[in-house]
Chains A and B, each alone.
Chain A
C-alpha cells in the first residue's frame, strides 16, 4: 500500500475459487459427488465437509469454492469428477491467482479478532479431554443448522450432558498469556449460551465460574438476572485452579473468595475464550503502515478512537479492541462517515448510476400475464411437481405465456424473462418461486430493465409455503402451489403501475445538546459538507466534558474541549444556539420545522428553523442517591466531585484514606441498571490518589468490577500499587454512618469473614448516570424511551444510533451511560447516518404506501391514532377534517387500511380489489378442479 490520504494505491492478492461465480447457482450437486472428506472449519471441526463446498447455504457470495489444499485434482492431478457433474459448467480449474492494483482514497481496517492459542486452552484441559470445548464450538452445537442440529452432545460418547460448567476469562485478563485486557463480550455470550442450552434442555444444570460478571452494556444486566432467576443458572465467583478428567467426567477445582478450595464434577466444560488479536495483524500493519498497541490490536487514542497512526487509514470493529456486535456496527458507521468526510470532494464521483428504458404505459392495454414457475434446483422441484403446476397455469384468464425455470433468480433467467416480456408483449409478470422478502427486488429490477413499471409484478412463494413446510406430502404441496399460483394470477389481473415518489430534503441538521456527543456530531456533519444548528440549553458548550479533568491514558479533556469549541466557532457551517431548548417539532424526515426557545435576558425568544434530520445528544448527569450520607456530610463525595478535588491545586487534595463504594444507588437500587463507566472512573481516581501520594490508602468496595477492555490494565496497575478491592453482596451492602465529626464505613470482608469498620477521610460514591429531559423530549419527537428513560434505538444490533422515527438519531449519554471514547464514536456514527438523507437530497418512498380517498374519509382520525410511525395527519379541507398520509414516513404496514371504518384507505399494491380477487380465486378451487 502506497500513497497518501485521497490517493492510495493498494495491491491485492486474489485467490481463485476455481468456480465461476456468474455461472454457479449454488445447487450443491458438486459437493454430493466430491469423494474426499475435509474437516469443516466453519463448524469448528465438529463436522465434515468436502473440498468443494459452501460454508452455509445463506453465504454471500452464494458461490461454492474449492479448497486447494484438500482437492484431489489440485493436490494430485486426479479426480475432476465435479466438472462434468455441474450442470451450469461453473467449475474452472484454469483459474489462477491474481494480483490487482486499485486506486482508493481511504482505507478502513476491519479484520476482526483472532483465536486464543491452543497452548492457553490446554491449561484448562482442552485437547486432553474431548468434553472440554470452546464457546465457539458450543455455539455451533447449539445451532439448529449446526453439526448436531441444535442438540448438545458430549464429543466423547454423544450423550447429553447433565451438568455443564462455563469457565470465564480464558485467554483474557491473564498476563500469563500476554492478554492483560478484558475481552468485554464473553460474560454476555456465556450467559446467552447457557440460557439457550437451558431452553434446549431444561433439565441441564449449569454453573458459570467467574471473577466479575461484566454485563455493562445497555440493559445487559437483565440477561444476568434472567439467567439466575428464570433459568436457575448458578454463578460462582471463583478462580478455577484445575480441570482434570475424572472417571467419565471432568473435575473442576476452584478457589472461592473466602480462600477455600472446592471441587465439582461436570459432564462438559465450556471455555469462554477471549478475543485475541488477528493472527496476521502484524503483517497487515506492516503492509498498510499503521501501528499496533501492545496487545497487537490497532493502536488508537481516546479522543480519536477510529483513526490509526496513518492518516487516511481508519479502523472499525473488534480489531480496534474487543467488542460486541452493537459496538462494532456503531464503529462501522462512524468509520464510514470519517472516510466520507475525508473524500468529500469526490462524493458521488465514483458511483455508477444505473439507467432504465422509459416505462411503457399499460393502463389502456388488455392484461397479458407471463408466469414463471421455479424448480429452485431441487429445493422446490423435489417436492412440488413443477411441470404439473406449469401445465395448470395454461388457459387461466389473462395468461398469455408460462414456463418452468431451473433457477428463476439466476442471471440467464433474468435475460429470458426480459426476452419473453418483449416477445409476448407481457404487461404483468408472476414468478412462483421463493420469498418476496429476499427476491422481489431482483425481479422488479428485471421488469424495469424491460421497460415495465416494477409494481406490475407478483411473487408467489411456493418454496417456504409449499415445498418446505409440506416436504413429506408432495401431492398436497403441489395442490397448494396451484392454489397459490391461481390466486397470484387473479391478483395480477388487477395490479396497476404505481408512480415512484420522492420527497426533497432540506440539507441541514438540528443537533440537540452541546456536550461531547453533540459537538462531535455537529463537526462530523459539517465536515460532510452540510450545515447544522447546534442547540445547547446551558450558557456555553461543553456539557459533561467540563466535569472531566484527566483520563486514564494521560490525555487532557480540557484540551479536547478547547479544540472542539474552537473548531466549531471557526466552522461557518455550524450555527450555535446557547441558552436554547427545543419547544416544538413538526414535519417528517427531510422536512422538519422546529421551534427553539432562546433565553434573552429575562425573557424568551422563539425562533423557527428548517432542517432535514435531528441528532439527539442531550446527555446525562450524575445521579444523586439519597444514601450513604451523600449531601449530609462533606466527607462523602461522588467520583466526579473527587476528580475535581484531585485535579485541583490544594496541597492535601489526595485524601490519606479513601473508601470507594461502587454501584451506590445502581444495579437494582434507585437505578435498576449499570452505568458502565463508574468502575473505570473509580480506578482512575484511585490511581490518581496513588500518583499524588503513594502512601495513601484506598479501598474499593464493589459488586463486579467492570473495567472492561483495556481498562483492565488500569485495574491491575491499581492493585499492584496497593489499592485494595473488596467485593460485597447485594444483601450485605456497606453502611455509612455518622459518628460525631467522623464518617464510619462498615462492611463485611469475605476474606476475613468478618465485619470491618473504617474511618476514612473521604467516602467516594460511584453513583451512576441518569438521562436529562428525555421524557419531555421524547414526547416532542414522538420517539420511545426505555423503562429507564434513555432513548431507545430502532434496533440494538442493526440500527444502534437510529430511532423509530425516520430522520431522528441518538448518541451519547442520552442513549445510555458510556465512556468518552464510545461517546465520540457513537456521535460520529449518528452523524454518518444523519448525513445519508442529506447526501441523497431526497427521500425515496416505496410505492406501496397508504393512500386516503378523501371522499370516503369521515375524519374519525382512528388511523392517526393507530399508525405506529406517525405517518398520518389530519388536514383541514374546507370545514372538514380529512386524513392524509405523509408518504415519506409511511412504512406500508397496512394497519390504517385494515381499521378504517369506511374503507377510505388503500395500500399501493394491496388494494381491496386485489385482495378480494385473491380470496375469490381461492374459493374458486372446487369449480376449477371439477371443470378440469
Chain B
C-alpha cells in the first residue's frame, strides 16, 4: 500500500456508476490507473440495472 489516498498518483474520478461509468472505471484500471467511482445511489448499475432484457440482443447482459 504505502501511499495514502490523497497522494495516489494518476488517479481518475468517474462520476456516476451507470453502465457508462462502470465501463469507464473498468477500462481505466486495465490501462493502469487507480479509479474513484462516485455514485450517488446505494448501488452501481444505473438505469440498466432496472431493465428487464436489453435490445438489440434482448438478453440481460448483467
Contact = CB atoms under 8 A, between A and B. Distances in A.
B33 A339 contact: yes
Given A142-B52, A796-B57, A102 B47 contact: no
A102 B54 CA distance: 36
A430 B7 CA distance: 41
A196 B15 contact: no
Interface stretch (A85-93, A340-348, A407-415, A613-621): A340-348
Main secondary structure of the interface of A (DSSP, over half): mixed
B56 A318 contact: no
A325 interface: yes
B33 A219 contact: no
Contacts of A188: 55-56
A339 B12 contact: yes
A218 B6 CA distance: 44
B23 A333 contact: yes
Contact of B38 (A12, A331, A348, A833): A12
Interface stretch (A31-39, A55-63, A722-730, A866-874): A55-63
B30 A339 contact: no
B30 to A, nearest CB: 5
A188 B55 CA distance: 7
A797 interface: yes
Contact of B23 (A8, A332, A839): A332
B48 to A, nearest CB: 6
Interface residues of A, number: 86
A318 B18 contact: yes
Interface residues of B, number: 52
Interface in B1-41: 1, 3, 5-25, 27-34, 36, 38
B28 to A, nearest CB: 5
Given A350-B8, A351-B32, A59 B54 contact: no
A10 B38 CA distance: 11
B21 A139 contact: no
Contact of B16 (A61, A317, A337, A832): A317
Interface in A301-358: 316-319, 324-326, 328-329, 331-333, 335-337, 339-340, 343, 345-352
Contacts of B9: 105, 346, 349-350
Interface in A885-901: none
A217 B57 CA distance: 12
Given A111-B16, A797-B61, A839 B11 contact: no
Contact of B18 (A100, A105, A317): A317
B24 A351 contact: no
Nearest to B14: A108
A351 B31 CA distance: 10
A222 to B, nearest CB: 8
B18 to A, nearest CB: 4
A690 interface: no
The 4 closest A-B pairs by CB, nearest first: A317-B20, A346-B10, A332-B23, A336-B27
29 contacts: A10-B13, A56-B49, A102-B13, A103-B8, A104-B11, A105-B9, A110-B17, A139-B51, A140-B50, A142-B53, A188-B55, A192-B53, A219-B56, A288-B15, A317-B19, A318-B20, A325-B54, A329-B19, A329-B20, A331-B20, A332-B24, A336-B27, A337-B31, A339-B24, A339-B28, A346-B33, A347-B10, A347-B31, A349-B10
